[in-house]
Amino acid sequence: MSSTIELGKISLSVFGESHGPAIGVVIDNLPAGEEIDIEKLLEFMARRAPKKDGTSTMRNETDFPNIISGFYNGKTTGEALCAVIKNSDQHSNDYKDISSLARPGHADYTGYVRYNGANDRRGGGHFSGRLTASLVFAGAICGQMLEKRGIVTGAHIYSIANKKDTAFDPARLNAKTLQAVKKKYLPVIDDNADEKMRTVIQKARESLDSVGGIIECGAIGVPCGIGDPVFGGLENRISQLVFAIPAVKGIEFGAGFAAAELMGSQNNDEFYIEENMVKTRTNNAGGILGGISNGMPIIFRAAFKPTPSIARPQNTVDFVQNKNDVIEIKGRHDPCIVPRAVPCVEAALNIALMSFLC
């Protein structure tokens, strides 16, 4: 359990380093005979690609996933599906001179200690955000399988710095909202939020700084009864996957941290019958009770810290020479990775949900 994870019958093995030859993923034990629409898959992955409008890095990442096993005649074979994504445009030199200076907020130092200096640190190595391309690939595959089972998932930028989008309506979230937001350049519900967020990102860029944000993610159509108690609940599994996305520092389901300030009589979601189905009027539970789906929309939010790579000089240490120093990070970096992280969070949810359905 490190870059490989077993989730019910499915397992995932993510590999690669930022500046090595390639990254990729093996997904084992997917259901057989599932059609995968490659165009849709690439669209999903494209949502993670750098934005060309200044809200993200200008690196030209080409993330074409070369599927080398487990896929035949347009369908999953049911056997281990491996996709390899070549690395290119690596500009290793950008990183050359900082190799033993710990970039604050990065895993340079912890990775160095963990691996006794043997890990490939160029560009963040295995800790790079680039690795999320593998997660997104797996999530795109799972998303298509979920749709065939009547489940639609989606995510939007809930906030960047202190600029907030309209939140999902937890009890009435619908497919239209989830689909609409996917098509937007900045995935927000409220177009005013788009403007404010661009501005705050642009300002961060100009001041050689960065901003973080919160992504809200949801699923509709998940039938009641999915999940397991104790360690195998939806919350356990979703969070285990979401924390695989670099920069995530928190996760909350339904009312989340706000529930801690509610009274029980406010927070409890009363049940009622509508069209012969059990529903709840509110959805503070985020669709999950006892780790198990209750048939209402599943809702959670993930908090992203601001991009640690900033161009300003920062105090730090040289962890090889064990002495204080100052670092100036060169290269091109996202002043805000939140927009590109939206499909990553959605991917984590897709994988978690699909893992319970096969």
Least gap, CB of 47 to a second copy (angstroms): 20
Smallest distance from a second copy to CB 56, Å: 14
Backbone phi and psi for residue 195, each to the nearest 5 degrees, phi listed first: -60, -50
Q: Is 166 in the site for a second copy (CB under 8 A)?
A: no
C-alpha of 41 from chain center: 16
283 binds a second copy per the rule CB under 8 A: no
* Closest residue by Cα to residue 124 from 148, 145, 103, 153: 103
In the complex, what is the shortest distance from the CB of residue 128 to a second copy, in angstroms, rounded to a whole number?
10
Judged by beta carbon, residue 40 or residue 312, the one nearer a second copy is: 312
Q: Does 202 bind a second copy (CB under 8 A)?
A: no
The interface with a second copy within residues 292-321 (CB under 8 A) comprises: 292-294, 303-310, 312, 314-317, 319
Q: 336: buried, middle or exposed (CB in 10 Å: 19+, 13-18, 0-12)? A: buried
Does residue 255 interact with a second copy by CB under 8 A?
yes
5 binds a second copy, rule: CB under 8 A: yes
From residue 70 to residue 109, the character string flagging contacts with a second copy as x (rule: CB under 8 A) and all else as - is: x-x--xxxxxxxx-x-----------------x-xxxx-x
- Per CB under 8 A, 120 contacts a second copy: yes
CB nearer to a second copy: pick between 45 and 138: 138
At 284, list the tokens.
Answer: 């503070």
Of 328-357, binders to a second copy (CB under 8 A) are none
Q: What's the closest the beta carbon of residue 154 comes to a second copy, in angstroms?
A: 20
Considering only 54, 148, 192, 229, the residue that binds a second copy (CB under 8 A) is 229
For residue 11, give the 3-state DSSP assignment: strand
With binding defined as CB under 8 A, does residue 251 bind a second copy?
Answer: yes
209 part of the interface to a second copy, by CB under 8 A: yes
By CB under 8 A, tell whether 170 contacts a second copy: no
Residue closer to a second copy (CB basis): 99 or 179? 99
Three-state SS at 228: coil
Angle at which helices 338-356 and 38-46 cross, to 10°: 140
Strands 163-164 and 75-76: unpaired
**CB neighbour list of residue 312: distance below 8 Å, 6 or more residues apart:** 208, 209, 328
Q: DSSP assignment of 108-172, as one string?
A: HHHHHHHTTT-S--GGGGGGSGGGHHHHHHHHHHHHHHHHHTT-EEEEEEEEETTEEPPPP-TTT
Q: Which of 189, 214, 220, 298 binds a second copy (CB under 8 A)?
A: 214
Residue keyed to tokens 């939010």: 301
Q: Mark the segment that binds a second copy (CB under 8 A) among 37-45, 54-62, 145-153, 209-217.
A: 209-217
Enumerate residues 6+ apart whose C-beta is below 8 A from 76: 30, 31, 32, 33, 34, 36, 70, 141
Strands 163-164 and 152-160: antiparallel
* Residue 263, both tokens: 């009274």
User: Residue 259 burial by CB count (10 A; 0-12/13-18/19+): exposed, middle or buried?
Assistant: middle
Judged by CB under 8 A, how many residues of this single chain contact a second copy?
A: 145
Burial per residue of 109-131, b for 16 or more beta-carbon CB atoms within 10 angstroms, e otherwise: bebbeeeeeebbbbbbbbbbbbb
Binders of a second copy among residues 21 to 60 (CB under 8 A) are 21-24, 26, 28-29, 32-33
Stretch that binds a second copy, among 44-52, 62-70, 92-100, 166-174 (CB under 8 A): 62-70
**Interface segment toward a second copy; rule CB under 8 A; list 15-23, 92-100, 140-148, 174-182:** 15-23
For tokens 């795109």, name the residue.
Answer: 140
Compare residues 33 and 179 and give the one whose CB is closer to a second copy.
33
Of the pair 146, 214, the CB lying nearest a second copy is at 214
Q: Is 153 in the site for a second copy (CB under 8 A)?
A: no
**Identity of the residue, 166 or 240, whose beta carbon is nearer to a second copy in the bound complex:** 240
